[in-house]
A and B are shown apart, each in its own frame.
Chain A
């Protein structure tokens, strides 16, 4: 017998289809349909979504699920639970696992784990250099055949312009986007936080925005020269934003993402030396933050990504200099984005949902991020106004390195549906039956 869903009375926001209306959404056997027959309507499980937004399941093309190799921090299973709890039905995992995703075997291992453990759609990426050492090109063709949706050395940055040029030419042959974590190493040796008035006062080794800007410029130039698609990860600086805007206006094949934390926080948060505010790239100044918000509003930014980067409490609970970079973000991404961009009055729900659904999916050519008829029934139902408290005890991550722990945020996920199955409902994960 068919499994039929009728999601009724919600505000349906589907930016890819330019749709924003109070309407019902239907699915039959995990696929979205325009309407139900009277028979189907009678059999359907009805879900009351009145007062809520009904949107495509969220998409995040930049997460770290740490499997294989660092499963004390996160696993594909726990990571997929975080995703479901955050309203995400599609995520793209970075390849800095142990071993790294520089070979088809590791990709197959991850795909097997996804088939076995994942509650949402998870896609792997492959490395661009062997062991992410930045020296020799990884077997990008084999990785493509193994099923990666993008290639990147995320967490590291290829310093050789010659090697990067060849990687772009080579990856472009397979239609794979190259994601780059933009960081000049010589300018950031031993650096811990943004170089600015705050780092100067705290005596903490500074990380100049120029270290990002130089690589962003390099990538823009090499993209133009090779014709390849470069996706700039987690842009943090005003100058980089300006560079990307100009190159996009000239028709360049570059895309860019921004994280909720760079939109919401600045380097002032580090005044208490709290490692939960230590990330790479670092939190920047208020001017940078405003430039990122402007980039979101004017469309320079293609998508919002969390860079969900779990580290355990005992790894983070050390001197700021020694703490690892990164924070988790899947469960807070929508709420933080809504606080910064929507509740502030700066932009509308359509824009934010677009940045968190089809736009990221398009970068990796993923079948996700819309409510189009015939697509998988990946749906999120959320109340944009409901206030909740970020409670590490209630997180589904194996790590609790979150800067918003204890904070009250508006925007609560009520239900996440992946391929027609409810995977998250009112604070609880619904395991696959």
Chain B
């Protein structure tokens, strides 16, 4: 298949074409295959310095990016919020330019402010990869989620029904997945309480429901999202108990799904809130497959953006 990737930045899914997503997925499946060899290490990014600039807490995304870089033989530097100069009053521009001046080759940014990855891409010459910007986008998560869905349902997702359940309003994962799934032809339904899933989301070309049964019936895949206590004021719903009562996924409710439906979660999982513990560990759950695929997909993103940069020089 022909490569459709010329970018040096991965900032969001909204601006990507279907062909660009296909290219990333194809590259990711090659890397995934290569990783099956014991102690697999590829030398494609040998000598590259990748800065992981994480101004917001992250475990799996950060580790997955570090692992991906290491599997591609790149060196990584981690700069985390709280330790960086931003707490001393330095602007994001200045901090980023300092890192670039140390001859960093790429930067992966996680930031609580939406648009911050776009901002850095304007400021810096080197490739910028968005590892999550506020409630805006988390493109690598959506790319690994749709990669996982394709492994289960084939390349053609036309007509596939995917439901995203939970805190959509504050979720960058939801936004990136909405764009990715729609570009790949799937039908997307958002579900959850009206305060976290406002009907306005229909403007993005998706269905919105506040009825769990409607959301689950005939779904091929369900993505659960964590309730992000840290981003919400106390006014969005009465209690985690009421949330679980109305929207928590349990065994009985999961039977509304199609028999071969998969259950997804970007993590971290709040067991007993958005999903019953046993269901998270059930055969339908692909939560750990998502994690595994996250490394291959991020290898593909790093590799393609580095190549895009080379082509532009």
Q: Identify the A interface with B (CB < 8 A).
A: 189, 196-197, 200-205, 272-273, 314, 317-322
Q: Hey, which chain A residues are within 8 Å of B193, CB to CB?
A: none
Q: Hey, which chain B residues are within 8 Å of A196, CB to CB?
A: 200
Q: Hey, which chain B residues are within 8 Å of A319, CB to CB?
A: 92, 111, 113, 115-116, 119
Known: A272-B118, A319-B111, A320-B113. A203 touches B233 (CB 8 A): no
Q: Hey, which chain B residues are within 8 Å of A202, CB to CB?
A: 114-115, 136
Do the beta carbons of B115 and A204 come within 8 Å of each other?
yes
Given contacts A200-B198, A319-B116, 6 further A-B contacts (CB under 8 A): A200-B204, A201-B14, A203-B135, A273-B115, A319-B115, A322-B113
Q: Hey, which chain A residues are within 8 Å of B172, CB to CB?
A: 203
Q: Given the complex of chains A and B, what is the CA–CA distance between A320 and B136 in angstroms?
A: 12
A-B contact count (CB 8 A): 56
Q: Given the complex of chains A and B, what is the CA–CA distance between A272 and B122 in angstroms?
A: 11
Q: Identify the B interface with A (CB < 8 A).
A: 14, 91-93, 111-116, 118-119, 133-137, 172, 175, 198, 200-201, 203-204, 233
Known: A273-B115, A319-B115. A203 touches B200 (CB 8 A): no
Q: Hey, which chain B residues are within 8 Å of A320, CB to CB?
A: 113-115, 119
Which of A189, A197, A203, A322 is close to B133, meaning CB atoms less than 8 Å apart? Answer: A203
Do the beta carbons of B118 and A200 come within 8 Å of each other?
no
What are 15 A-B interface contacts by the 8 Å CB criterion?
A196-B200, A197-B200, A200-B200, A200-B201, A200-B203, A203-B135, A203-B172, A314-B91, A317-B93, A318-B93, A319-B113, A319-B115, A319-B119, A321-B114, A321-B134
Q: Hey, which chain B residues are within 8 Å of A273, CB to CB?
A: 114-115, 118-119
Q: Given the complex of chains A and B, what is the CA–CA distance between A343 and B152 in angstroms?
A: 58
| Closest beta carbon of chain B to A324's beta carbon, Å | 13
| Closest beta carbon of chain B to A273's beta carbon, Å | 3
Do the beta carbons of B136 and A203 come within 8 Å of each other?
yes
Do the beta carbons of A201 and B204 come within 8 Å of each other?
yes
Whose C-beta in chain A lies nearest to the C-beta of B112?
Answer: A321
Q: Hey, which chain B residues are within 8 Å of A203, CB to CB?
A: 114, 133-137, 172, 175
Whose C-beta in chain B lies nearest to the C-beta of A317?
Answer: B93
Q: Hey, which chain B residues are within 8 Å of A322, CB to CB?
A: 113
Q: Given the complex of chains A and B, what is the CA–CA distance between A131 and B111 in angstroms?
A: 34
Closest 10 CB pairs of A and B: A273-B115, A203-B136, A203-B135, A319-B113, A203-B114, A321-B113, A197-B203, A319-B116, A320-B115, A204-B114
| Closest beta carbon of chain B to A303's beta carbon, Å | 34
Most chain B Cβ neighbours within 10 Å, of A197, A202, A322: A202
Whose C-beta in chain A lies nearest to the C-beta of B204?
Answer: A201
Q: Hey, which chain A residues are within 8 Å of B198, CB to CB?
A: 200
Q: Hey, which chain B residues are within 8 Å of A321, CB to CB?
A: 112-114, 134
Q: Hey, which chain A residues are within 8 Å of B14, CB to CB?
A: 201
| Closest beta carbon of chain B to A51's beta carbon, Å | 42
Do the beta carbons of B115 and A189 come within 8 Å of each other?
no
Q: Given the complex of chains A and B, what is the CA–CA distance between A273 and B114 in angstroms?
A: 8
Q: Hey, which chain A residues are within 8 Å of B91, CB to CB?
A: 314, 317-318
Whose C-beta in chain B lies nearest to the C-beta of A272?
Answer: B118
Do the beta carbons of B175 and A201 come within 8 Å of each other?
yes
Whose C-beta in chain A lies nearest to the C-beta of B202?
Answer: A197
Q: Given the complex of chains A and B, what is the CA–CA distance between A186 and B43 in angstroms?
A: 54
| Closest beta carbon of chain A to B97's beta carbon, Å | 12
Q: Given the complex of chains A and B, what is the CA–CA distance between A242 and B65 in angstroms?
A: 53
Q: Hey, which chain A residues are within 8 Å of B137, CB to CB?
A: 203
Q: Given the complex of chains A and B, what is the CA–CA distance between A375 and B202 in angstroms?
A: 58
Q: Hey, which chain A residues are within 8 Å of B200, CB to CB?
A: 196-197, 200
Q: Given the complex of chains A and B, what is the CA–CA distance between A311 and B220 in angstroms?
A: 51
Q: Given the complex of chains A and B, what is the CA–CA distance between A317 and B122 in angstroms?
A: 11
Whose C-beta in chain A lies nearest to the C-beta of B111?
Answer: A319
Q: Hey, which chain B residues are within 8 Å of A204, CB to CB?
A: 114-115, 134-136
Most chain B Cβ neighbours within 10 Å, of A202, A203, A318: A203
| Closest beta carbon of chain A to B247's beta carbon, Å | 20
Whose C-beta in chain A lies nearest to the C-beta of B233?
Answer: A189
Whose C-beta in chain A lies nearest to the C-beta of B168?
Answer: A200
Whose C-beta in chain A lies nearest to the C-beta of B169?
Answer: A200
| Closest beta carbon of chain B to A99's beta carbon, Å | 24
Q: Given the complex of chains A and B, what is the CA–CA distance between A205 and B116 in angstroms?
A: 14
Q: Hey, which chain A residues are within 8 Å of B119, CB to CB?
A: 273, 319-320
| Closest beta carbon of chain B to A188's beta carbon, Å | 12
Known: A203-B133, A203-B135, A203-B137. A318 touches B92 (CB 8 A): yes
Q: Given the complex of chains A and B, what is the CA–CA distance between A201 and B135 in angstroms?
A: 9
Whose C-beta in chain B lies nearest to the C-beta of A192?
Answer: B114
